[in-house]
Amino acid sequence: MPRHQYKRQKAGTDSVFESLEVSKLINYIMKDGKKTVARELVYSMLENIKGEDNDPLVTLNKAISNVTPDKEVRSRRLGGASYLVPTDIREDRKIYLALNWIIDAARTRSNKEFNSFDLKLAEEVKEAAKRQGPAFAKRQQTEKLASQNKAFSHLKW
């Protein structure tokens, strides 16, 4: 019986900014299928960035590119031992990791600084665009781990 190839569904763009990254950010923030709540959070976050900077999409894209890792480690089992093998990352996984690290960093911010999630997210995006903050530190930590295990790169298959 022949196996059928899985056809990956293309993600659409959002209605306001016509951006794939904004659409993905909305989907990653969404909880329990409440897309309108996530959409309002993202658009108010972009309005907060727009008030301080010129273009919020440029700031968001710069933050994503600064947080996007080039390599990650995957565990490979060989002869009873597990090795951390550095591998290249697919383009869609790069965006997924970058956006989720930004969202997680915004969620872990204390409520003393900012009282709403859209303000936390806006601050995190601005810090990531400046190559600062916990999301950028997570990228550096991931790439450092990959470079430390460069000796096992011959084990990838």
Q: DSSP state, 2?
A: P
The dihedral through the CA atoms of 50, 53, 57, 61 has a sign that is: negative
Q: Which two tokens stand for residue 72?
A: 């990650």
CATH class label, 20-68+90-139:
mainly alpha
For 3-18, the pLDDT digits (tens) are: 888 888 887 888 888 9
Nearest to 135 by CA among 73, 86, 30, 62: 62
Find the mean pLDDT for residues 131-141: 95
Task: Show me where the domains of the chain are located.
Answer: 20-68+90-139
Asked if residue 43 has pLDDT above 80, the reply is yes
For 101-123, the pLDDT digits (tens) are: 999 999 998 877 778 899 999 99
Asked if residue 24 has pLDDT above 90, the reply is yes
Find the mean pLDDT for residues 36-47: 94
